[in-house]
Structure 1
Amino acid sequence: MFDGVIRILKNFKYVSNLSRNLVSLSVLDDADYTVKIERGFMKICRGSIVVLKGIKDSLYYLIGETVTSSNTLAEAPTDHKAILWHKMLGQIGNKGLQVLKKQSLLSNDKMSKVDLCENCVWGKHHRLVFKVGQHNSRGILEYLYVDL
């Protein structure tokens, strides 16, 4: 998944010939998951822990890939190793990962590129400016400046 962890979904139907993998929201609801959809992002939570994430195109796509048997488990870690190194090295970019790979500072395994990192996306968002406050304090300790 998005965080490099392999998640196992139980009691789901898998159709191998289907070109897209579909997850039923009613099955997630029956399994006590909460689905939150907001501004093109989808989060599937169990309690307060985000288990799965998705992004919107014409449908919501889970961020990750499908692993169906132990034979394909050898293929899955290549994508999650790049994401893991990306996070461990302070959100380093693909070029930086390639430089470290050429210098043999990372593992010798094949790594793919990091396509979408939610923390990087949120880090590039602009924040709204705070309005100038009006202070109507007249006495001592009616208004405090605190560094939170």
Structure 2
Amino acid sequence: MRDGIFKATSGALVMVKGVRRNNLYYYQGTTVVGTVTATTSSTKKDVEATKLWHIRLGHAGEKSLQIIAKQGLLKGTKTCKPEFCEHRVLGKQRKVKFGTAIHNTKGIMDYVHSDVWGLAKTPSIGGRHYFVTFVDDFSRRVWVFTMKHKDEVLGIFLKWKDQVEN
């Protein structure tokens, strides 16, 4: 059994326990995550209670905690004002969505999507580390070609285009 302390991307420290089998740690038990919430004034007991309820309630804001405390739902705990919580700020961020694009394709090869993937650490049986895909927007047909080097894309595309057009 080994303990490990890992620094999470949010800056919090995470303590986990696990068993090492075949160079892989299997997680056991619960995770204790240090919080980024900071509070001012009040007693240490109030500060800890505020942190705990803030986390338990999904990083609730000060007003929400006060309303819940006034209703007596926090087991008689007095709450204080949290100054800053990185998790709460990150939780308020919204993902930027791509606008929906309308492609008015009337036939095959009017609009083609392409993607190149690689470098694969392990090559295929033929020694290939990359692949390129072509998707026809009209028919939704997909073609996949493997490559040893990225610079083969143009040649593969030109051969593919000739093949599809004929």
Q: TM-score range by the shorter chain?
A: 0.3 to 0.5
Return the index of the structure with the highest Cα Rg. 2
Higher relative contact order (CA 8 A, sep 6+): 1
Please, what TM-score do these two structures have when normalized by structure 2?
A: 0.36
